[in-house]
Amino acid sequence: MRLYLLPPDGAFRRANLHCHTTVSDGTFTPPEIKSRYKAAGYEIVAFSDHEVPLPHTDLKDEAFLPITSYEIAFNKPGLYDNHWTPTHHLNLFSKEECPKRFPYICPDKNWWGCKFFEPSGFVPSDFEIDSRTPDYSLEGIQKLIDRANARGFLVSYNHPGWSLQNPENYVPLDGVWGVECYNTGCHRGGYVLDNSELPLYNYLRAGKDVFPLAQDDNHGPGSEFGGWTMIKSPTLEYSDVMGALERGEFYASTGPSIDHLWIENGTVHLESPDGVLAFLTTESRFQRRFAAPAGERLVARFDIKEWLQGARDPARPHSERPFFRISVYDGQGRWALTRGFRTDQLPL
């Protein structure tokens, strides 16, 4: 039986899910962002301005979908220093196009995020205000994530390298839907750790189903079009796109494409028009590499029957909830990453 790991139907739609505009600290206005990203082949942008949950439904058309989102920061207490202060940044993506209530934290008008209210047209009284000071602890961040999940938001953990965080400071968080494995603004700014598969691997090894994201975090022309999410969705309707995101029906990329991905009779099949190398990685040391012949399309086959047998053997020591995932690399070292596929989720 053939089991598709990426849906066979629908179309891949390019998305940037981390974006800043003049509503917060970006260079371009929301309409300018739409124009620039459409010209670059994007159909979807999540407008995630700092601390401002502002829908941009006026930008929607038959070929462009704005996603309602915002970014929230938890900074280590004390005087903030942009070079030294550890922080946690989360993106909250609304499953509803125009939600009625946001789990929004803004203690007072003196907090730095609130200065964006007036130019954005955002009215705080329209949303659920948490009057407490943002709690930097994992317990405080967990409360925010729990509230966001309960109110219909997907939550991503952003740029762990730039945030000066080790895995033990973010992997324990439950309810995280996605993690940035690439951040254009951070990586081009010199934070090399924000171009890494390791955050995804750490979450998966901990038994958590967190999806890989490649995002721009664009603040100006120097941080655009470096990473994107390819979402397989039947239409560009908000509910279809958000449903595909929630189910993990996408891959993250900084360059190469994945056309087809399925498993049949214990063999994983992958096709990429511009990849040259593919890797199948698991929670164990069972790994496989496939190289495309020079000048040919990448058509990889990975036999995982041996790994499946070992992953299901209770006598073998292995990590919680065994998984496999795929990485594709092109000739310039750019990559595409899939989610982790677990034995307890697939009828294999």
Give per-residue pLDDT as tens, 309-319: 888 888 776 66
pLDDT, position 122: 53
Tokens 């790991």 correspond to: 5
Higher pLDDT, 60 or 52: 60
CB-based contact 161:192 (threshold 8 Å): yes
Residue ranges per domain, the chain? 9-253, 260-342
Average pLDDT over residues 58-84: 90
Q: What is the pLDDT of residue 83?
A: 86
- In sequence order, the 6+-apart residues with CB closer than 8 A to the CB of 337 are 181, 197, 200, 212, 214, 251, 252, 253, 325, 326, 327
Write 162-169 long-range contacts (CB < 8 A, 24+).
162/186, 162/189, 162/191, 162/194, 163/86, 163/87, 163/88, 163/89, 164/85, 164/86, 164/87, 165/86, 165/88, 167/198, 167/199, 167/202, 169/86, 169/88, 169/138
Quick one: pLDDT at residue 153? 93
Band of the pLDDT at 102, cuts 50, 70, 90?
low
Q: Give the mean model confidence (pLDDT) for residues 36-50.
A: 96
Question: Which one is the CATH code of 260-342: 2.70.98, 3.30.43, 2.60.40, 3.40.1350?
Answer: 2.60.40
pTM of the predicted protein model: 0.93
CATH topology of domain 9-253: TIM Barrel (3.20.20)
pLDDT recorded at residue 69: 93
pLDDT band at 24 (very low <50, low <70, confident <90, very high): confident
88 sits in which H/E element: strand 87-94
DSSP readout, 227-240?
-EEEEEESSS-HHH
Q: Do domains 9-253 and 260-342 have the same CATH topology?
A: no
The residues that bridge with 73 in the sheet, in sequence order, are 89
Mean residue pLDDT of the chain comes to 90
